[in-house]
Amino acid sequence: MANLKEIRNRISSIGSTMKITSAMKMVSAAKLKKAQDAITAMRPYANKLTELLQNLSATLDSSDGDVYTEQREINKILIVAITSNRGLCGGFNSSVIKKVQNVISTEYADKEVSVLAIGKKGNDLFSKNLTVIANESDVFDDLTFKNVAKIAEELMSQFTDNQFDKIEIIYNQFKNAATQIISKEQFLPILPPESKKTSNADYVFEPSKEEIVKELIPKSLKTQLYKAVRDSYASEHGARMTAMHKATDNATELRDDLLLIYNKARQAAITNEILEIVGGAEALND
């Protein structure tokens, strides 16, 4: 019977775990809907703004080039790594961490690399063996454009002050609840457009082209970072929902297996008791 009691305790424990994982799945599903709508709505605007900015920047004379488009010799690199503040989301955080480590060891093996962490999980690991200049994990407590823009302004200031020659963002780009794509984007300096289809177009600028670019660049950079954080936020909830769904399914399968073992053990115990009773009765008859 002690064995049966142990199995019952395990079944009860697994049942409690199922309730937790199922509840976490439902919470993440609710948050995912809101986060998905937000990133889906802003992505076309952010992409079009970046495209417009690149096309305008490409038409500027080199002498009038903006400080944010300045191409320098790459010696000091800053990687903005976006992870989450909490775990239980499958390989969401580990994929970003591995990507950052791989980029540092391959592309920038002979460079001076620092990290700005957005997310406690990334900060906890990177702070052990890399130079982490800041931990901006609090941004997820109130995820607004204004709060993310402050981080973008600090990044722009560090680039213009020559603290870094190149700034990149590594994060999970949201595709759907089950799929997140690891993305590496260059934040600064601004890259020229890959295609120059619009370079010969006849535009009339009011005010001047230079003034428009200088006004758009800060706004575009803030929007780019905000889109990356929003993408990561939606990806986090999608990954957590998927992970909790799988955890619930695995717990259900384990519980069913234990119930089968319990029933077999219980039947065996009952059969032994019956045999003992029958054996005792036959001994009395003899």
Residues noted as catalytic: 89
Contact 15, 237 (CB under 8 A): no
The helix (H) or strand (E) run that includes residue 14 is: helix 2-58
Nearest partner of 83 among 68, 75, 94, 73, judged by Cα: 94
Give the largest Cα separation in the chain, rounded: 116
Closest CA to 205 of 216, 194, 220, 191: 216
Alpha-carbon 123 to chain mean position: 13
Other CB atoms within a 10 A radius of the CB of residue 121 amount to 22
Q: Which residue has the tokens 């424990």?
A: 13
List, as one string, the DSSP characters of 93-135. Answer: HHHHHHHHHHHHHHTTTTSEEEEEEESHHHHHHHHHHSEEEEE
Spatial separation of the C-alpha atoms in residues 84 and 92, rounded to whole Å: 8
